[in-house]
Amino acid sequence: MKFLRYGEAGQEVPAMMGPDGVIRDLSAHTGDFSGEAVSIDNLTRLAALDLESLPVLPDDGRIGCALADVPNFLCVGLNYGRHAAEIGVEQPSEPVLFSKATSCLAGPNDDLYLPAGSTQTDWEIELGMVIGREASNVSVADAMSYVAGFCIVNDVSERDYQMNHGGQWMKGKSAPGFGPVGPWLVTPDDISDPQNLNLSLTVNGVVQQNSNTEDMIFSLAEIIAAMSRYMILRVGDIIATGTPEGVGLGQKPQRFLRSGDVMELHIQGLGQQRVTIC
């Protein structure tokens, strides 16, 4: 099943989209998609509702960030071998973890305003995982049973802020709009193998990133197991699982986003995002 949040910013309602592609309002059946509303138990209950009984929403409205009030927006860095190579660093021996401010979350098609003075804003398409039950010290074998679903994440990054201002990467990862998530939260039963999904990103129609999740250094299960050793993963946490090669930072010459550029992102089974740079 595909779950989404529909409506203008701040007024989204929880919704779902069945196999017929029709968006239906779930607000009589669940709270907004945050916390326990995105637990595996609640999503399983919602998926069993009679689709025909739900109010239909028009298909031309805004789709919001797939989740509301996200507890943690966690990320893995350098998780594709050719991406590590393009920016000239060795492959890590353990997952590289960092986080983005949750205030950067945005809808999948919202305009992105470059931060004041930004000259190095860059793109990073990533497979996102959403945690569906609390996870602490879970094994690799059990890890995927904690996943509520998958979504597209763009880990938008300001490289100057990220690398030239001391401290942690978070500075370059957290500006408003730097975390488009969605359009959908897709439950695992709709994704036959999340470790074999094509993902691609274009800027102004030109392919920049084009890879497959099979190229990850650390698998999705290994990421959850590793993170859950260091912290409790909470229901509704979003984990961005790393980006493949083709970021602007890795190109010669380097290529960063400018006002008027249009990014389009696609992951097999998870829909697409289209973001205009302002």
Interior CA angle at 232 toward 90 and 29, to 5°? 120
Residue 174 near Zn ion by CB under 5 A: no
Q: How far is the CB of 54 from Zn ion (least distance, A)?
A: 35
CB of residue 92 to Zn ion, shortest distance in Å: 13
The answer to whether 158 contacts Zn ion (rule: CB under 5 A) is no
| 155 touches Zn ion by CB under 5 A | yes
Residue 261 touching Zn ion (CB under 5 A): no
99 or 243: whose CB is closer to Zn ion? Answer: 243
Q: Is position 211 an interface residue for Zn ion (rule: CB under 5 A)? A: no
- Helix ranges (H only) for the chain are 40-47, 81-86, 140-143, 159-163, 220-230
Tokens of 86: 């393009």
Distances (CA, A) of 176 to 171, 230, 261: 12, 27, 17
Nearest to 144 by CA among 158, 133, 153, 154: 133
Q: Is 12 in the site for Zn ion (CB under 5 A)?
A: no
Residues 229-248 that bind Zn ion (CB under 5 A): 243
For the CB of residue 79, give the shortest distance to Zn ion in the complex, in Å: 8
Q: Which two tokens stand for residue 39?
A: 């637990």
Say whether 156 sits in a helix, a strand or coil: coil
* Alpha-carbon gap, residue 274 to 272, rounded angstroms: 7
Using the 8-state DSSP alphabet, how is residue 44 labeled?
Answer: H
Those residues whose C-beta lies under 8 Å from the C-beta of residue 251, and which sit 6 or more positions away, are: none
Which residue sits closest to Zn ion, CB atoms considered?
155
Indicate the residue among 2 and 173 with the shorter CB distance to Zn ion. Answer: 173
Looking only at residues 99 through 128 of this chain, which bind Zn ion when binding is defined by CB under 5 A? Answer: 124
**Which of the ranges 6-14, 19-27, 149-157, 178-186 carries the binding residues for Zn ion, by CB under 5 A?**
149-157
* Residues binding Zn ion: number (CB under 5 A): 3
Least Å distance, CB 116 to Zn ion, is 23
Residue 157 is inside which H or E element, if any?
strand 157-158
Which lies closer to Zn ion via its Cβ, residue 155 or residue 237?
155
> Which chain residues interact with Zn ion by CB under 5 A?
124, 155, 243
